[in-house]
Structure 1
Amino acid sequence: MRRLFDLFRRPPLRSRRHRRLLDELAEHTRRNAAQAAGQRRPVPNTVGHYYGRPVRPSISPGMVRDRAFGDRVRRGCDPTEVRSFLHLVADELTALRAELRSTQDENLRIKQALRDWQSEQFQQFQAGAA
């Protein structure tokens, strides 16, 4: 019976292209981590991960801008239009990351204000009970 269930637990098969893209993502993430090792500041863990950063590497705007597809031209795809679209996507990703960061900062500020208010209410309750 256990063997039957193990058949369904096998990892999905990945194509060579998919593995190559995952390797590029991992290499890019390692390179960025090595470059920013001295500049990194602690980030609050707000994405629901208990230990450290998420396992899946994130795609950076620079990675989108630097993506190259080779010299082959496919039918209907103009390389200059593809390049301009990649820059547009990278700019949008940059704006979204900045908005996310400001939202996270606001969230931390609101949480701290709530904690301060709760502490103040508790102290007033303690003073009134005494």
Structure 2
Amino acid sequence: MLRTDGNRRLLALAGAVAVLAVALFIRAVADGPLEQNSGTALYASLIYAGVFVLRPRTPPLVAGALAIAFCWLVELSQLTGVPAYLSERSLLARLALGVAYDPLDMWWYPVGVLPLVAVHVALRWKDDRRFGSEHAV
């Protein structure tokens, strides 16, 4: 599979763009709980991909834990009112930080990350068997 950091970054970036495209498509055609919950899960998926843009050699379990922890931190920060304040002034802040705390989101973040971790671990295991190398999972 892809062995260089540059290739891993490009793949992670392509994955992030694909997740963003899916999120925008769902937002365009759906509303209500599907739009809200899928957006939350896809946000977490985007963060997971972002970990690999920044650190391509991160093991999948570590990346998953980091992505979920980051999402939970952002969600909990909404209890302070700071993200709402920033969101009033910037669309980017609104997209990245949200506005109001929703306890249901805390469950949807792992829904967006854990399937990616499972697929990533399976692909690395298959790759390791094919090339006879060992990766930390």
What TM-score range do you get, normalising by the shorter chain? Answer: 0.3 to 0.5
- TM-score, length of structure 2 as denominator length: 0.34
TM-score by length of 1: 0.35
Higher helix share: 2
Structure of larger gyration radius? 1
Structure having greater relative contact order (Cα 8 Å, sep ≥ 6): 2
